[in-house]
Structure 1
Amino acid sequence: MLRAVAAVGGVMSVLRRVVAVGALVGLLAGGGIAGVAQAAPGGGAAPAAGAPGGAAAPGYVEDGTDDPVVAAPPVSRPDSRHCTVTLAKDFDSNAADGSQQFYSGTLAPPAGCRGPWAKVVLDQTVTVSGRQYDRSGDLTIGGAEVWFGTTEEPSGAVPTTYHVATDVTRFAALLRQPQPFRGGIGNYVSDVYTGNYRQTVTLTYYVADRRHPAATTPDAVYGFGSQQAKPVGETVHFGLSRLPRNITRAAVEVTLKGNGCDEQWFSAVPDDVAARYPDAGMCGHGPYREAAVALDDTAAGAVTTFPHIYSGGIVPTLWRPVPAIGTFALYPETLDVTPFVGRLVDGARHDLAVTVPGANDNWDVVATVLLYTDHHAARTSGALTTHQVAASAHPTTTENPLSDNGTRVDVRASRHDVTAGYVDTSAGRVRTTVRSTLSYRSVDDVTAAGMAQSIRQTVTGRQTSTSTVDGRRVAASQHDFSYPLGVDYSAAAYTDDQNFSLTGTVEMARVVRTAVAGRHGWRTTARGREWLRSTGILTRTDGVTTASDGSSRSTYDGLDDAGRPYHHRIVTDHGRIRSDVTQP
């Protein structure tokens, strides 16, 4: 289900006094400054009326900011016959009376493109103007979330338009039959926060042909929409029933989004450190977060999450016009649970549980189960034979004093999980071993009585799956990821909501590589490094905006989704694109 969220924005170190260290939700919100946060319908927070305003600062483009652009390669499109179905056309997130509204209907494969398909692509074009917070939204088809993301904050009267393309080919099993759909952006409007997100949403089916073969996709997809893991109730449950009796492989895809104090979970500090600086209102429970997955109370492994930052996060001027990596479509993480297939084919109901240990606020948890079946047998069977999975990573924390009553917080965690099992199939007994490793470290220098943080976080991991028949390797895959993050933030000059200066620099990257084993060794099927460095400042003096500026550098080096080399470099300054160069 779509979460009717009033605002995405949480805070880096939540200053409940209005200005938050970290993510001043919607503070810029169309070029102005937000006032005191008050409760809003639908959850989240909405600013008090009359808050935004103030004169434009020198050097900042108040009403001509370029539309958002990202360095990541666009979704490739096969040159084959295709059909486009429109799910929403110029659909406003809010009705004329200001109430939230969502598009819905029944989706069926188009008569001219019934499949099989080489690719299916979801396209969304969104336009917004005025003042508004960053919001979240989703699209479910047949109960499965095929898109879950957040929005760009507008930059004033001139409309901001951006496009999001998502490859949804892996959901083809759902798309072959008529399915109900529901989607949109949860948005809250008022006399001050006027931005209404107008959406056009389409699905394009590219028919397979001789030059573009049908994609290899799961035979069955089970989606559950979103549930919320909470500090009291860290575990959410998804019921699995009526599963195929001939499963050969299985994976669980998990997308996570922290809210409130856990929106920027990477900036959270241990509870004793938060208590040491009470005026800063810092978020506690430390910075490590993971999602532990269990099947029928047996730990199956865990996934981390990319450190998403939304368009009002840290300092809003950081993200004009290049958003943080993954802002518009949050990245899922996938856990191979093939060793558990022998349990899943018994015809019984099963429990899929996802736990966020140490959650300090609500987490949206989206889970999707992807299944492959035996096309030559009606039944398979098997068993779990090896199980070495930690229930939790159990992070360790070291605290050391810095000058001027500062504190260095060093948090480390790791995982080394192994599961193995076999499945008796029409091709024989297939034995699969899944090895997952994770290494995490965060070093956070907390200074200025908690009003400034310098964070260096590294998260790396690998998942390797190997399948054999009679001792002979028949399939193997390996996925590596690295999510380095650096954040330097200061609100040390904060006096009150009319007199403050916020400065921030964020450097982040998403580095991934996927390879499969063949007769002649490993072959890379996906590889990319997306990197972004942004700086921003936002200052208000006696209620007047006296500084509001930002610049960024962003690059992508690697392969596009068709395996072709792709290089993209973007340079921005004063909220405008200065250089945008693509080298395919």
Structure 2
Amino acid sequence: MGNPLLVTLNLTVTSAGRQFDRLGYMYFNDTEIFRTSTAEPIQTGIEWSYMKDVSNYLALFKKPQKIIFDLGNLVDDTYTGTFNVTLTATFFTDPYPLPAADVVLAVSARHSSINGSSAFVIPTDNASTTLNIPLNAKKAIFTISACGQFLEEFWFTNVPSSTVQTFPDTELLGHSPFRELQLYIDGILAGVSWPFPVIFTGGIVPGLWRPIVGIDAFDLREDEIDVTPFLPLLVDGNAHNFEIRVVGIYDDGTGNAILTENVDDYWVVTGKLFLWQDDTENIAAGAAPVIVAPEPTLRLSSSVTTDVNGTNETLSYNVSVERYISVSSLVNAPCGPRPVSWQQALAFTNTGMLTDRGRVQVTHQRSTGLDVSSNDYSRTFAYPLFVNSSFSTDDESGNFSIAATISRGKEVRVIGSNVFPTDQLDSTKRSSDLSPTLTGTHLNTVQNGSATYLAAPKLKYAVGHGATEQDLIFSTSEGFQPPLRNQQMYGPERDYRFYRRHVLAVNGTLVEDDEMIRGHENERKARQAYQAGRTEYCVREGVGRMLGRGPRL
């Protein structure tokens, strides 16, 4: 294979029949390098592809690896869709490669010896691994791959724990709509990740996601935590424990709240430690890290209204969280002691309202954050989310219907580069017609949609309609400087719009598709009429599995 500088994976899947969304994982031995999910099959067949840059795993590609691709599926008389998967890798060189990590260590369940998936399942598993760190490590970045499944798939619509019994006929899930992924090193909190609310292709209403899929559904992204300040503790020749935890909030209904030790069933998580090594044999020892990590500020409130008979009719709640973490130390280097640091400032709000005894729910949520590393890296993010959903059921026939409107977005600005390739940043920096002072990338994508779904499970039949529109803008930015704590956040002096795409899908048909690259309209531009009326969909397992709430059994 030689010494490739860039590697991309291409995943192509075909399927036909009746099925629902599934998670897929790709491992090199025990190390997860790609997590994806499926589109929902249709009777006439469907094909989709996704390309992913995995150049950050060059250290693994240089050695023989056992490839494990895990895409679990259920095929029976009801679920007839099978998945035919083709996975290829392309290797090519680049005169300006990113400095990939020298070593990649997995924090996983380590099941490759039995050809199994190495993901931890929380809360069942203790998601921890001991690692031995090379003595000449000079930079260390930890990444977390995690997503909620089953009772935790729609965590962002959960309610405060004190309110889960509000409605006698509608089951609600608790631990609040807040989730935090935590990294502990030898029992010390090293950093956190606030997950993006992924909605898979069968989530809420399937008609929202055909053929446009939810943001990140085909590539579940990972967040980075710079643990370089911990190197003075880690390069002592001993094994050290790395643990991932998933927490929510428990409240007593009177305004008192604490982070929970566990959540419901379940989260799928793995982690990786990326290490860059010094050319010398010098040990990167130094001063122990100084950690400022106060407990997050938690604010919860809720209220219930009743009808004339005293039966609970509505529930409203508000949840807000603020979190600040700072870790700093001195790391010895050939040129002398070097100060290193990692800072995070995060804010979360969720306002929810359930009416009609829990059958209608409106959720407004927003997560924002700033990560700053002394390794010339910073990241800001905003995850706005609005979901308005309702359901009705017929006890006699078992039929049910769901209607929903969604508006959601993901905005991420990255300055510098640590682990993951920053999309097109390096190629655009080298373009002669762009400014030589480009420092980062800016991704902003928004989805708006509405759909309905009517299912007759006994007849294995479901119909509905839906429309979703998405805008995506990718820019390279100039002159942006990340703010420090207590300073006002400000934006870049100038953004260079590199890529824009707008799509509209109605009833499974791509009606509009406009693409522009560096100001030039691409041949992809399309206009197409859509089929009016209802579309047939896969029969789902019930309201609870689609919305995260539903009729009590």
The interval holding the TM-score normalised by the smaller chain is 0.7 to 0.9
**2:291 corresponding residue in structure 1:** 387
Counterparts of residues 110-509 of structure 1 (less than 5 Å): 110=1, 114-117=2-5, 119-156=6-43, 158-208=44-94, 212-225=95-108, 226-231=118-123, 235-241=126-132, 243-358=133-248, 359-390=263-294, 393=296, 395-401=298-304, 405-466=313-374, 475-492=375-392, 495=395, 498-509=398-409
SS of residue paired to 1:382: coil
3-state SS of 1:190 partner: coil
Which blocks of at least 5 consecutive residues in structure 1 are unaligned?
1-109, 467-474
Q: Which residue of 2 aligns with 1:574?
A: 507
Shifted more, 178-187 versus 535-544: the winner is 535-544
TM-score for the superposition, normalised by structure 2:
0.78
- Tell me if the contact between 1:516 and 1:522 (Cα under 8 Å) persists in the aligned partners: no
Separation of aligned partners in 2, 1:189 and 1:352? 37
Task: State the distance in 2 between where 1:534 and 1:416 align.
Answer: 34
Aligned match of 1:531: 446
* Residue 111 of structure 2: aligned partner: none
**For each residue in 1:408-466, what CA deviation from the matched residue of structure 2 results, as whole angstroms up to 9, or x when unmatched?**
11011111100001111123211112110110010010111111110000000010112
- For 1:142 and 1:430, locate their aligned partners in 2 and report how far apart those are by CA, in whole Å: 35
Normalized against structure 1, the TM-score is what?
0.74
**Aligned-partner Cα distance in 2 for 1:409–1:521:** 49
- Measured in 2, the distance between the counterparts of 1:554 and 1:499 equals 31
Deviation at 1:402, TM superposition (A): 5.2
- Point out where structure 2 has 5 or more consecutive residues left out of the alignment: 109-117, 249-262, 308-312, 418-434, 478-495, 518-553
Residues 536 and 551 of structure 1 are in contact (CA less than 8 Å); yes or no, is this contact kept in structure 2? yes
Q: Is the 8 A contact 1:389 1:418 kept in 2?
A: yes
How far apart are residue 497 of structure 1 and its match? Answer: 5.9
Contact 1:340 1:383 (C-alpha < 8 Å) held by counterparts: no
CA distance in 1, matches of 2:198, 2:232: 36
Does structure 2 conserve the Cα–Cα contact (< 8 Å) formed by 1:539 and 1:548? yes
Amino acid at match of 2:67: F
Contact 2:135 2:281 (8 Å CA) reproduced: no
Distance 2:212 2:231 in 1: 43
Residues 524 and 280 (structure 1), Cα distance of their counterparts in 2 relative to 1, 3 Å cut:
farther
Q: Alignment partner of 1:342: what SS?
A: helix
Give how far 1:530 is off: 1.2
Q: Deviations over 1:530-584 (max 9, x none)?
A: 11112110124797768510001001012389x8700000011121100111001
* Cα deviations by residue, 1:377-398 (Å, 9 ceiling, x for unpaired): 44221233310124x5363211
Deviation at 1:215, TM superposition (A): 2.4
> Equivalents in 2 of 1:579, 1:417: separation in Å?
44
| Aligned twin of 1:78 | none
1:549 aligns with 2:465: yes
Distance 1:423 1:455, change over 3 A: same
**Offset at residue 115 of structure 1 (A):** 1.8
Change beyond 3 A, Cα 1:145–1:227: closer
Mapped partners of 1:444, 1:347: distance in 2: 50
Aligned partner of 2:335: which letter? Answer: A
Measured in 2, the distance between the counterparts of 1:410 and 1:527 equals 30
User: Separation in 1 of the partners of 2:128 and 2:457?
Assistant: 50
Q: Could you say if the C-alpha distance between residues 582 and 356 of structure 1 is closer, same or farther in structure 2, counting changes exceeding 3 Å? A: same
Distance 2:4 2:97 in 1: 6
Read off the aligned partner of 1:230 and give its amino acid letter. I
CA offset digits 1:266-299 (Å, max 9, x no partner): 0111233220113211111111101111100111
Contact residue 440 and residue 476 of structure 2 kept, 8 A: no
Kindly tell me: are residues 497 and 255 of structure 1, through their superposed partners in 2, closer, same or farther at Cα, counting changes over 3 Å?
farther
Q: Is the 8 A contact 1:516 1:523 kept in 2?
A: no
* Residue 522 of structure 1: how far off its partner (Å): 8.5
Q: Taking CA–CA contacts closer than 8 Å with sequence separation of 6 or more, which of the two structures ends up with the larger relative contact order?
A: 1
The CA deviation at 1:312 is: 0.9
Letter matched to residue 368 of structure 1: K
Q: Provide the secondary structure at the position in 2 that maps to 1:341.
A: helix
Identify if the C-alpha distance between structure 1 residues 300 and 130 changes in structure 2 by more than 3 Å, giving closer, same or farther: same
- CA RMSD in angstroms comes to 2.4
Residue type of the partner of 1:166?
K
- SS of residue in 2 equivalent to 1:213: coil
Distance in 1, Cα, partners of 2:456 & 2:37: 31
Query: In the alignment, is the contact (CA less than 8 A) between 1:247 and 1:374 conserved in 2?
Result: yes
For 1:207, give the aligned amino acid. T
> What is the CA deviation profile of residues 90-121 of structure 1, one whole-angstrom value per residue up to 9, with x for unaligned ones?
xxxxxxxxxxxxxxxxxxxx2xxx1241x210
Q: What is the identity, as a one-letter code, of the residue corresponding to 2:20?
A: Y
Q: Which residue of 2 aligns with 1:559?
A: 475
Report the CA distance between 1:495 and its aligned residue: 4.5
Distance 1:155 1:307 in 2: 25
Tell me the alpha carbon deviations over residues 483-521 of structure 1, each in whole angstroms, 9 at most, x when there is no partner.
Answer: 11111100045556643321011211110001149xx99
DSSP 3-state at the match of 1:449: helix
Q: Secondary structure at the match of 2:79?
A: coil
1:170-220 deviation per Cα after TM superposition (whole angstroms, max 9, x unaligned)? 110111111111113111111221111001101111123xxx323211111
Amino acid in structure 2 at the alignment position of 1:364: V
Task: State the distance in 1 between where 2:86 and 2:363 align.
Answer: 38
Match of residue 513, structure 1, among 387, 399, 413:
413
CA drift at 1:351 = 0.3
1:353–1:484 Cα change, 3 Å: same
Count how many residue pairs are aligned between Structure 1 and Structure 2. 453
Matched residues, percent identical?
27
Counterpart CA distance in 2 for 1:341 and 1:442 is 37
> Distance between the aligned counterparts of 1:569 and 1:322, measured in 2?
11
CA distance in 2, matches of 1:485, 1:341: 37
Conservation of the 8 A alpha-carbon contact between 1:512 and 1:528:
yes
